[in-house]
């Protein structure tokens, strides 16, 4: 039922993307690995039917090691999927239990052993800043992934979400709270180890070998339009942002009645400027002063340079080729720096 609704939503929204070329198709969120090859084929065929698709699109399926059995990996290798994103997070049982992951360390290793036999383009997710994870163990996690010769690694600092078991454990003192200083040290270790292995830190959390940057991630961080299909999916197109209803039955009912279950908001010039600064500072492409002046006006450029001055003096930012970029020293702090460059209510 849900797959049929995804297909119908793709058809209903085809005009939204009529002037765009689909460069990447991403099956993420929930458990896309539960889809059969026939269902994957059906969805991808629908995309080709209603949209202009690039000659060799990146087609990624996101999954956890417990979802990717030997058989399912082999089956996926026969499907149009040409990239796997695997949520390993850690190779230590203690960390996996703390984060309430369904897989264990042995399953993670076996999954990567099998996946690398059938897929060349693989991304692995790791998490740092986990309470109790020391630097030596963090290095061991990085080296374990590197041993599989995967071309892309995404790494995120652990965050404590409200109303989760992790938050409860921290409040009760069962485990230590997140240590931001330790997370920054582990981020620096990560950058040093991966750059030494030929990876490029093209976005704060993403590291790719040349020719293996994620097209999906790059599109998001460079502000390209994207269309999100299915419950909870988000979409973006220049001046508008949209998000689908989260509830599955509500989503299905609306689609069956030819109603798009989506809310949208129009972005103001200030919204767009703030979003560009936030995304740009996280990447190797930086924030173009030429683009800021062209798309937002001279006042925004002047404001940006004024706000950036203190961070340039502190060597957290620098200007090169008319672009503001984060330095190695400022990289881990890029989100906080970006928020200081945001504009509020500029008339």
Domain coordinates in residue numbering, the chain: 21-221, 269-341
* 197: exposed, middle or buried (Cβ count in 10 Å: 0-12, 13-18, 19+): middle
Strand partners, 53: 22
pLDDT of residue 165: 63
Q: Could you list the pLDDT tens digit for every one of the 347 residues in the chain?
A: 889 999 999 999 999 998 899 999 999 876 677 888 999 999 999 999 999 999 999 999 999 999 999 999 999 999 999 999 999 999 999 999 888 889 999 999 999 999 999 999 999 999 999 998 999 999 999 999 999 999 999 999 987 677 666 666 667 666 666 778 899 999 999 999 999 999 999 999 999 999 999 999 888 888 889 999 999 999 999 889 999 999 999 999 999 999 999 999 999 999 999 999 999 999 999 999 999 999 999 999 999 999 999 999 999 999 999 999 999 999 999 999 999 999 886 44
**pLDDT the model gives residue 164:** 65
Q: How far apart are CA 286 and CA 137, in angstroms?
A: 32
| pLDDT recorded at residue 288 | 97
**CB atoms inside a 10 Å sphere around CB 184:** 16
**The CATH number of the domain covering residues in 269-341:** 1.10.10.920
* 321 exposure class (CB count in 10 Å sphere: 0-12, 13-18, 19+): exposed
Beta bridge partners of residue 127, listed in sequence order: 156
Q: Give SS3 for 199.
A: coil
Q: In what order do the strands lie in the sheet with 317-320?
A: 287-288, 323-326, 317-320
- For 287-317, b/e burial (b = at least 16 CB within 10 A) is bbbeebbeebeeebbebbeebbeebeeeebb
> From edge to edge, which strands make up the β-sheet containing 240-244?
234-237, 240-244, 262-266
pLDDT in the model for residue 346: 46
For residues 178 and 131, the answer to whether their CB atoms sit within 8 Å is: yes
Q: How far is residue 29's CA from residue 191's CA, in Å, rounded to a whole number? A: 27
- Please tell us whether the domain made up of 21-221 is placed in CATH 3.20.20.70: yes
Terminal-residue alpha carbon distance, the chain? 48
Task: Answer whether 21-221 and 269-341 agree in fold.
Answer: no
DSSP assignment of 80-131 = S--EEEEEEE-S-HHHHHHTT-SS-HHHHHHHHHHHHHH-S-EEEEEEE--T
Torsion of CA 185, 189, 195, 199, to 10 degrees: -90
d(CA 218, CA 204): 11
pLDDT given at position 227: 93
């Amino acid at each position: 039922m849900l797959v049929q609704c995804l297909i119908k939503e793709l058809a209903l929204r085809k005009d939204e993307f009529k002037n765009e070329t689909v460069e990447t198709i991403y099956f993420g969120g929930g458990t896309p690995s539960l889809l059969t090859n026939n269902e994957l084929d059906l969805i991808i065929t629908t995309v080709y039917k209603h949209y202009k698709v690039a000659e060799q699109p990146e087609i990624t399926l996101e999954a956890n090691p417990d979802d990717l059995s030997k058989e399912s990996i082999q089956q996926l290798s026969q499907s149009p999927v040409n990239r796997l994103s695997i949520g390993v997070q850690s190779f230590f049982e203690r960390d996996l239990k703390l984060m309430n992951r369904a897989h264990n360390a042995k399953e993670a290793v076996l999954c990567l052993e099998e996946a690398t036999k059938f897929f060349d383009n693989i991304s692995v997710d790791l998490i740092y800043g986990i309470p109790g994870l020391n630097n030596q163990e963090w290095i061991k996690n990085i080296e374990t992934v590197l041993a599989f010769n995967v071309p892309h690694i995404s790494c995120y600092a652990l965050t404590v979400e409200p109303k989760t078991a992790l938050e409860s454990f921290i409040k009760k003192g069962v485990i230590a709270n997140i240590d931001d200083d330790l997370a920054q040290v582990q981020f620096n270790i990560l950058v040093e180890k991966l750059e030494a292995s030929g990876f490029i830190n093209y976005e704060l959390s993403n590291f790719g070998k040349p020719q293996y940057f994620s097209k999906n991630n790059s599109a998001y961080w460079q502000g390209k339009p994207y269309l999100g299909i299915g419950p909870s999916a988000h979409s973006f197109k220049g001046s508008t942002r949209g998000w689908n209803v989260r509830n599955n039955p509500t989503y299905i009912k609306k689609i069956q009645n030819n109603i798009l279950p989506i809310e949208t908001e129009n972005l103001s010039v200030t919204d767009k400027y703030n979003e560009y600064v936030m995304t740009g500072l996280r990447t190797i492409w930086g924030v173009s002063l030429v683009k800021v002046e062209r798309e937002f006006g001279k006042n925004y450029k002047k404001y940006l340079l004024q706000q950036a001055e203190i961070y340039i003096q502190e060597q957290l930012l620098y200007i090169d080729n008319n672009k503001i970029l984060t330095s190695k020293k400022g990289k881990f702090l890029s989100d906080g720096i970006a928020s200081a460059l945001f504009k509020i209510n500029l008339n």
